[in-house]
Structure 1
Amino acid sequence: MSEAMPWTSAGPAAERLAVHRDDVELRGRTGFDPRFLAPGPLLPVPLPVPGPHAPPVVVLPYTHFTVVLRPDRRLAVATVAAVDGARLRDVDRAGSQWWLDPRVPQEQQTGPEVYARNDLDRGHLVRRRDPVWGTPEEAAQANSDTFCYTNAAPQHAGFNQSEELWLGLEDHVLQYAQTYDQRLAVVTGPVFADDDPVYRGVALPRRFYKVVAHLRAGRTVELAASAFLLDQSAMVERFGARAERAGRVPDLEPYRTFQVPVRDVALLTGLDLGPLPAADRLPAVAARAAGVPAGWRRVSAPDDVVW
């Protein structure tokens, strides 16, 4: 859900077999630290996890980020990444290869067969550049870790490679972290629905969310969070049978990014987002537009974002 691949999934490179790694190579990965934004007991950001009655998940730590995998969907229900703006590094993505995580069975991951010979991209959930910081060795390891299939979701090429909205927002967030040496906690994932169109045995998510948290310094240090939602319904419907969606949140237009209340992300995903809904920076009252849920704010440029 970030950078466009140097080749698209329609090309011959998509048909390469996935790289397999050994468990030994992944030992020592600690994942996202809930105390990353503020050391000690102040303002922790816990791992986003589904409620007690949700399907089982597997927590997979990587370098500077964690993936919460839902095996029944073969995709992550959530990812959370630590972004250290003061220690970001530029790492060349050339030569990076997608790989399957040996810690979970292959059939619980969405591998290369879903992306071959079509317009579906391997969309990074944790953006490749976000966790690439620290020592040169740490940064290189984080870069490689983002290419695990557990950190990918099927996204239409037009959606994944759009520079105008979602990717522009991600650029804006990363530039903010780098310019002001800020630390960010970035939670990203798909919004699952029971009637998502099924393609090659995988239900394709129609929507994706992102919640960005940071600390605001005023009279006191406080946690601040902003949430966003983007829709690819019109582009993925043709990959599966259309289903009736009566009584659900109205479909959004493709390529449209919305800033939404953090609590709405929690309700749509069933995730426990800890203190983030209470730290929301979006005003409680927003203008209602046709076909747009109350409280949602359309974002067409970075200046539209309420931080």
Structure 2
Amino acid sequence: MIASDSPRAAGAAAGTAFRPPLADRAGYDEHFLGVPVPLPMPSRPDVATVVLPYTHFTVVLRPDRRMAAATAVCIDGRRLLDHVPRESSWQFDPRLDRAHQAGSDVYRDNSLDKGHLVRRLDPVWGAAAEAEQANEDTFHYTNAAPQADVCNQAKQLWQELENHLLDHAAGFDRKLAVLTGPVLHDSDPPYRGVQVPLRFWKVAAFLRDGALAATGYVLDQSPDLPRDAERALAGAQAGAPPPLGAFRTYQVPVKDVAELTSLDLGPLSDADLMPVTRAPAERWKRLASHDDIVLRRG
């Protein structure tokens, strides 16, 4: 029997159909650019995921890790709203058991940040109500992963990548499909019921001269032991978060992202603008500024 004060009962009493929370979210559109950019999914059939659509983005969550394996967002640079306030609070997604989400217990009373995977402002475009809904949707724990609280240039560079790439989208169409997630390795250090990822990845897709183009990036927060020895030793204490280092940002071949993550990135490896080199020292290009990004083959 449905309790009289339940949402389902209230809807029935009003003569309207009951809609579960977030049921109207359409999620990421793989045809947003005009050419297909599929949602990234694990290439291994034994990896279980839950696909969670939100407003203009989708989260592919791994319940065994309690966080996303991948996210995908559509960014319409011409329709972005700049003045949507950051007033939302983090919340669980009601469509998924809380035991499969990394909630506030992971982040409480420590130095870890709730790192947005889909950046808060990326899906915030369209009509005002639609944009505000997208803003709120980014504050689900399913869209967060533990990140070091170190504030440095490399982290700021990572956060500004989408803005830089929007300016380079072909024909000034200013549309991007951005895929992002943590690199989930079995060796990631455990902490409060989760394993803290040491790397994050991002692949941006856009059109250039009518053809699909892509660039790939890795953000590394593993400790640089010669430089972060004091922080690493402090992090080794019982009950403290695992030691994390200052962020380092790299542009990498999209093929390497696919191999690192065991995700199927569809056509994006072939659309990569970064030439693949065999020389290890040159294959991953460390970025000091946006000027270092390779956006042209050859």
Judge same fold: TM > 0.5, yes or no: yes
Structure 2 equivalent of residue 271 of structure 1: 263
Instruction: Confirm or deny that 1:153 pairs with 2:112.
Output: no
Structure 1 equivalent of residue 32 of structure 2: 36
RMSD: 2.6
- 1:253–1:222 Cα change, 3 Å: farther
Distance 1:164 1:146 in 2: 19
Pick one of 232, 243, 246 that aligns with 2:221: 232
Aligned to 1:263, the other structure's residue is in SS state helix
Distance 1:102 1:23 in 2: 13
Question: Aligned pair count?
Answer: 265
Aligned-residue offset at 1:176: 4.9
Aligned-residue offset at 1:180: 3.0
The Cα offsets for residues 61-99 of structure 1, whole Å up to 9 and x where unpaired, read as: 000000000000000000000000111112433321111
Contact 1:23–1:102 (CA under 8 A) maintained in structure 2: no
Give the partner amino acid of 1:135.
A
Distance 2:113 2:19 in 1: 27
Distance 2:22 2:156 in 1: 36
**TM-score when normalising by structure 1:** 0.80
**TM-score when normalising by structure 2:** 0.82
Aligned-residue offset at 1:55: 1.6
- 1:164–1:26 Cα change, 3 Å: closer
Q: Give the number of the structure whose alpha-carbon radius of gyration is greater.
A: 2
Instruction: Confirm or deny that 1:69 pairs with 2:61.
Output: yes
Structure 2 equivalent of residue 300 of structure 1: 288
Structure 2 equivalent of residue 84 of structure 1: 76
Structure 1 equivalent of residue 197 of structure 2: 205
Aligned to 2:283, the other structure's residue is in SS state coil
Contact 2:92–2:140 (CA under 8 A) maintained in structure 1: yes
Structure 2 equivalent of residue 16 of structure 1: none
Contact 2:42–2:263 (CA under 8 A) maintained in structure 1: yes
Aligned to 2:130, the other structure's residue is in SS state helix
Aligned runs of 1:141-220 on 2, under 5 Å?
A: 141-158=133-150, 164-174=156-166, 176=168, 180-217=172-209
Aligned runs of 1:241-280 on 2, under 5 Å?
A: 254-280=246-272
Pick one of 20, 23, 28 that aligns with 1:27: 23
Aligned-residue offset at 1:112: 0.5
Distance 1:100 1:65 in 2: 17
Contact 1:286–1:297 (CA under 8 A) maintained in structure 2: no
Give the partner amino acid of 1:172.
H
